[in-house]
Structure formats: structure tokens, C-alpha cells
Structure 1
């Protein structure tokens, strides 16, 4: 089996012969065989053991066994203790996830401390099969059906090419001491239910089910390479990350719009079921909204608009006056009062507004718009509802929500900030003093 492991390491380009490796050593058969095999193959190893304090006396037994075995091979042994239950509570995640995160964080810390190249963990072929089935049960994309990856950053898995049965036989044949985690013999966790119940059931239908699933994972990993290339080309074509805009007409030119949405939106916390709903909304009317924990997606005409969910605890209004001529929130706005001179010129920029200062009433109020708001858009002579103005100018729903108004002390809308001033307060031939307002972008 040593030769088989070496061939797998070489085939998957996991590490070079002179590599220094941090080896996760729990004391179980898998990690014991991994450490033994890597030493036999000539690698420089450091054994690393984690005590998660979840199994009472068994945890102490595991540590003693791992320490003794590493010493028998004359391999350096490092260990650490974790308050796993506390970490799970603090991070609001499951105990299993907390243990996993703590383990890999510590492994990476000591990898750097020991100036090692990679971290080896003892996942084997059966673990990969269980992962595939677990992802299938939970719902996943094509990547989740490819099993565990041989290499992920600095993490390598040299035993993925061998089965649990081969590992146990090798350990017994070479009289390698190992301990058994009693929780692996119980159906307390979903993965164990797959291991102890589902796989035996599948074997009763197809005695060669494990070989069939391994071959299927290999096919899916190869197909995944084509899929990944397609996705890598599609996402930049349809998604403008800066604006958060997903261009629906372009999206529909690709063979599988839902797959593109899945690979794009899962990175923003959207679950597969919700992404299915989003895909069904491609041809629906504008206005539909979808949420993940931290993001919102809005259907707006020919696009989906992605934005961060915000909870605004700031004041709803802000004041500008001759004594307070600048605000930093909710946007950067500066005011200047000046006399009209012969060289006075108006800059035609959306971020600048010019108003007749002599007919204004202070203080100015900066606020969000509300239903019923109306103004006289510059160049027009009659009132227009702000909602109609937004629709005429094709404002998206997020753009409407982000719109701020500058209002006079008497309540009149002076400026839809960054867009249009009110015609009643325009500069005329009778204007003697100008109120200049400048919005700083970015």
C-alpha cells in the first residue's frame, strides 16, 4: 500500500520528495497509517494532535496513544486543547464545524511556525464517497458530487486513493497501534448514518457500489473542468461586480442560466432553493426581491441588481444652513453662497446644483423621498410626482431607495440630489446671489 500512496501523491502532484509536512494525528487508524506511510516515503514530518474535549477519558486516551506512536517513530509531536463547545456557541455554528475550523486554523498556525510546506490529513476513499452522498442528500452543484479534493491550498490528502478496508488491513499487518473513536460507531451524526446505514443498504443492491461511485466521481471531476471553464467565462460576461448588475439578456444567451446564477450567487450566501426561485423570475415582472443573510437581489427590468442588505440606524433627516455648510452623512454635500459676477459660469454637472439664494428658506433639509412628493423639474412649468419622475427616467428599485432630496425650509423640494433641480428656484436674470451645492462622489 505504501507504493499505492506514493503513486497517488505523484499523480495528484501533492508534494515534492523534500517537502516538510504537518501531519494531523488523531490516534485513529487512518492518521496512524498516514504518518507511518509518509515517514516510510522519506518525508520530514511533524505530528499534530488536537484535543477537542468532547469525549471525556477517550480524549486523554487518544492523546497518549498519538504521542506514544509519534515518539516510536522519532517524529516531533505537537498538541493543543480546544474549548470546542465554547467556540461553537461563540461562532454560532455546529460543534462539528467548530472542531473542523479550530483544527485547520491551528494546523496552519503551526505550519508557518514550523516552516512546513503542507498539511496532510487522513481522509480516505470512503470519506470521499460519504461526502459525495452527503452533498447529494443536502443538494449541491456538480462540484459537490466530485467528492473530497486531493489538494486544497496547503491541505493535502494522500490517502484518498485507498479504502478504509485497505487502511485497516495495513495497520493490522504492520502491528500499528491505534484507537477507535466510539462516536464513529454510533448514528449520532448524518455522516455516520451514511456510513453505517446508507452505504450497506446500497451494497445490498450493488455489491460494487463503492467502485461505481468512485468512477462516477472521477467522471464528474473531469466534466467539472469543462463546467468550471464555462462558468469562468460566463460570470464576467453577465455580472458587473462593481454595480452588482446581472444582465438578463446576456444571461439567457448561455445554455444554462440557472447554473451560472447558482455559481455566482452561492458566493453571496443564497441557497440552492432560493437560486431556483431567482432563475424562475428571469422572465417575471420587475420588483421581485430575494434575500440571503447579508445580500438582497432585486429583479429590475432586464437585470438582477445585487446589493448589501443594510439596516439604517442613522437619522432620517440632515440639516444644512449658512452656519452649517457641509455634511458628511448620508452623502458628502457642501454649500457655497456667492454674488453673481460678470465671469460667473454654471457647470453642467449632475453633482452640482445652482439655486437662487434670495428666494430660499433655511435651514435646508436632506431626507429620503416618500410617496406623494412632487416638484417642478428644471425646464418644466408644472408639478410632477417624484414617483413618476423616477419611472420616466427608469430608476431601478435600489436607485429609488437610495435617492436623497434637498428641501427648502418651507418643505419645497429643491434638488433630487445628483439628478435634477426644481425649476422654481433656478437662476434667472433677476438673480443676485447664488447658492451652489456640490456633491462629492466616491
Structure 2
């Protein structure tokens, strides 16, 4: 299997000699096999390897999984980085499934750590069976060609070297090399859709229709990837010819757009919606509504979509705008200790000073190192050009990018409270404390901020 994976890595131009690779390692057989293979590959090509493990805090065995990864990396002399996240709390707060929240937390951790380490690539252990499950999942949702392409071997920094092998190949490799691994019992929980596809649908399709269904679905994904790439290339060529930004609005030449094939129309409309809203999860229904607007006779027609996006047909233009005028803008000075009432949100914030040795974590509170904060402090909404320093991130990240990574809808972003002093953001309330304000072992005084809704406002 090692030679098969190495040939695939070379065919897909995944790794150059001396590549610096961060491997996502859950502790399961797939990721342990990937780590073992890439260790050999990096030794042969002068590369650098790190391992990253995210503890999801979902299972009683999660700590054991983390310890197995740590111990194995220590024996194999691979630097290992771990992080613990309460994925269930993230899922509840963002109203997403555990699967979605866990995936997003993992990739955010991997991206931030890769940036900090200067990694060229992030490697994950997805294989052909995972690919088959992904294609079926998208098919059942009625996805188009973008969904049917499944997971790409290379996507930006992300690489998937095991997409050339099956789960059975990996199990044999793990046995042959006597690699340690842990079992994730949630993989057998039928509450998760992907598990039902793996445990029930694929075996049924293998028995009743095609014993090589995994191979067939991987072939479908490869075809869809080729055709999707062709559509993207066509859209890239047409985009500068029919799009322009005018005073903060995005305009498409309606006449030229109308002449394009339906599939290319949809691809260009999707690009316009993403550019305006910074959200990528637009549905086919949204695209069809815009295409219907495009085909209607007349002018001064308006279509209202989600995330406060409006599409207007004005003479020979499709005009895309995002209306955020109803979002509150505020800035309140902070006295410590003290109280702040944000009228626009109907929220009270209490600020107290607690000696570090007396502090205990509590719900609906955040804790910051008071002596590391500049003054004057304020609680405010976001401002144009805001940047922050997340924990573990090298340098500054735009607040807009952080909100996008957290999948916070654009219409909600002005309602998120920031603790700041000048241009330095110390906390994104309800989400995180930034690197300059995080509590450490040397912290002496802790600023504790508690949020609660105003009874009259609710």
C-alpha cells in the first residue's frame, strides 16, 4: 500500500521534496496509517512532519484517544499538537449538527496551527470508502455536480493522500505494521446520517446492485471533478467580461449573462452571491430564482434572498447588494468593575475583578488577564478593518474572516459584542478571548465579564 500511496502523491503533485506537512490524526486506523506512511515519505524526501489532534469532548474515551496519539508521536519522534473543544456546546450555540460542528472545529484548528507552524500542507486520512459515502450523501440531498465531485485530492493546502486506497487496504496495512489505533464507537451510531450510509446503504447496494459500488462512486467523483473544473474555468474567463463593482454593489451584464448556457449562468450567479454575502451555502432554489428574474421582461424588479441579499434587475444589469442597515452599531465605554447596558441589544454586562487563585469558570462568562489590557476599554460592535489575534494564530486575522470561519450569518455580525481598546480586540463575546488577553499561569488579576439579557427587553 505504501508504494500505491506514494505513486498517488506523485501523480497528484501533492508533495514536493522538503514539504512541511501537518497531519490531522484522530487516533483511528486511517489516520495512524497516514501518519506512518507520511513519516516514511518525509524521511525519504527531507520533509518536516507534525501531528494535530482535536479532542471533541464527546466521548468518555476521548482522553484515551488523545493519549494514544501523544504516546505514538513520542515514540515516532513526531511533534504533536493537541487541543480540546466542547463540540456539543459549539453545535448548540451555532445551531448545527454535531457532525458539522466537529468538522468545522477540526479544520479551523488545523488551519490556524498550519499557519503558526508554517506548514505547506494539511493532510487528512480520507479514503475511497469515505469518498463513496460523501458522493451518496450529496446525491441523496439532490446536489449538483459540485457535490457529486466529493472530496478533491488537493484543495489549497489540504491534501488527501489515501483517496487511492480502500478501508480494507488500510486495515491490512495497520495489521501488517502492527500500528496502534483506537476504535471510535460513535462510528456505529445510527443517529448520524453518514453512519447509516456506511453501515446500511452501501452494503445493500453492494449486495443488491453492484458489488463494486465503492469503485463506481469514486469513478463518478473523478468524472464530476473534471467537469466541475471545466465549468469553473469557463466561469473564470467570463467573470471579468460581465461583472463590475459600482459604489459597493456588484453588477452583472444581464444581456451577456442571458446568452450563456444555463449551467454557466448558475455558476456565475453563485459567484456573485458569494462575493456579496461571503456565504457559500446558497441553494439551487436561490440560483433558479435569480435566473427567473434574469429572464423576466421589464426593469426595476427586486428579489429578496437570505442574509439580507437583494438582487435587482435594472435595465440591462443584475445588481447584487447586501442590506445591513437594520444592524445596530454601538460603542460603550467600560469601567472596571462596573456595569454596561447595551440598549441596541437589550443586554447587560457586568465586569468584576477576581484574584486568579479565587477564580472558577462559570456559564455565560468570559475571563481575561486584566493586567494585559490597555485602556480605555469599550464594548462595541464591529468596525471596518477590524483585525484580531486568535490564540495559537501567528499574526493577525481579519474579523470578517473569523466570522466566516465560524459560519456566522452576515446579518448577525453587527450584533456580536467586542471588548476592545483602540484597534486591539480582546474578546469576541460568546466566542473567544484573543491571544493578548488570555489567562495564563502568571495571571494575577482576572477580569470576569458576565452577560445576561435585560428582563424588560425580553
TM-score calculated relative to the size of structure 1: 0.66
Counterpart-to-counterpart distance in 1, 2:237 and 2:180: 51
* Aligned with 1:255 (options 261, 273, 277): 261
Q: Deviations over 1:218-274 (max 9, x none)?
A: 222222232111111223333323342222211121122344324443554432112
Q: 2:198 aligns with which of 195, 198, 211?
A: 195
1:72 Cα deviation from its structure 2 partner: 2.7
Give 1:197 shift. Answer: 2.0
Q: CA contact under 8 A between 2:309 and 2:321: conserved in structure 1? A: yes
Tell me: CA distance 1:28–1:312, structure 2 relative to 1, closer, same or farther (3 Å): closer
Q: How does 1:219-238 map to 2 (within 5 A)?
A: 219-238=223-242
Structure-2 change in CA distance of 1:116 and 1:265 (3 Å): closer
Offset of 1:211 from its aligned partner? Answer: 1.5
- Residues 303/49 of structure 1: CA separation in 2 closer, same or farther (3 Å cut): same
Equivalent position SS for 1:217: helix
- Name the residue aligned to 1:355: none
Structure 1 partner of 2:69: 66
Report if the CA contact (8 A) 2:129-2:166 is conserved. Answer: yes
Determine the C-alpha separation between the residues in 2 that align with 1:233 and 1:112.
31
SS in 1 for 2:234: helix
Task: Report deviation, 1:307.
Answer: 0.9
Of structures 1 and 2, the larger Rg is shown by 1
Question: Cα offset for 1:210?
Answer: 1.6
Aligned residues: 313
Deviation at 1:26, TM superposition (A): 1.0
Shift of 1:59: 0.4
SS in 1 for 2:294: coil
Q: Conserved in 2, the CA contact under 8 Å of 1:123 and 1:157?
A: yes
- Note if 1:271 corresponds to 2:269: no
Equivalent in the alignment of 1:81: 84
Q: Match of 2:134?
A: 131
CA root-mean-square deviation: 2.2
Aligned equivalents of 1:230, 1:112: Cα separation in 2: 32
Give 1:311-322 correspondences, 5 Å limit.
Answer: 311-312=325-326
State yes or no: 1:289 paired with 2:300.
no
**Quick one: distance in 2 between partners of 1:139 and 1:266?**
20
Which residue does the alignment assign to 1:55? 59
Instruction: Name the CA shift for 1:47/1:298 in 2 (closer, same or farther; >3 Å).
Output: same
Tell me what 2:174 maps to: 171
Distance between the aligned counterparts of 2:236 and 2:200, measured in 1? Answer: 38
Q: Report the alpha carbon displacement of residue 300 of structure 1 after superposing the two structures with TM.
A: 3.4
2:40 corresponds in structure 1 to 40
In structure 2, the gaps of 5 or more residues are 329-458
TM-score, with structure 2 as normaliser: 0.64
Does residue 28 (structure 1) correspond to residue 28 (structure 2)? The answer is yes
- Hey, what does 2:211 align to over in structure 1? 207
Give me the whole-angstrom Cα distance separating, in 1, the residues matched to 2:295 and 2:53: 54
Partners of 2:216 and 2:128 lie apart in 1 by 12
Deviation at 1:303, TM superposition (A): 3.1
Q: SS where residue 54 of structure 1 aligns?
A: coil
CA–CA distance in structure 2, aligned partners of residues 107 and 138 of structure 1: 28
Q: Is the 8 A contact 2:114 2:121 kept in 1?
A: yes
Post-superposition CA distance 1:389-437 (Å, at most 9, x none)? xxxxxxxxxxxxxxxxxxxxxxxxxxxxxxxxxxxxxxxxxxxxxxxxx
**Could you tell me how far apart the structure 1 residues matched to 2:315 and 2:117 are?**
56
CA contact (8 A) 2:272 2:320 kept: no
CA distance in 2: counterparts of 1:134 and 1:264, whole angstroms: 27
Q: What is the CA distance between 1:174 and its match in structure 2?
A: 1.8
Partner SS state of residue 65, structure 1: helix
Cα distance, 1:301 vs. partner?
4.1
CA deviation map 1:352-397 (0-9, x unaligned) = xxxxxxxxxxxxxxxxxxxxxxxxxxxxxxxxxxxxxxxxxxxxxx
Aligned residue in 2 for 1:358: none
For residue 296 of structure 2, give the secondary structure of its aligned residue in structure 1.
coil
- Superposed displacement of residue 33, structure 1: 0.2
Task: Work out the CA distance in 2 between the residues paired with 1:46 and 1:288.
Answer: 52
Q: Distance in 1 between matches of 2:119 and 2:289?
A: 46
Alpha-carbon separation, structure 2, partners of 1:23 and 1:67: 13
Q: What is the alpha-carbon distance in structure 2 between the residues aligned to residue 311 and residue 112 of structure 1?
A: 35
Q: 1:196 to 1:245 in 2, by over 3 A?
A: same
SS of the residue 1:281 aligns to: helix
1:121 aligned to 2:124?
A: yes
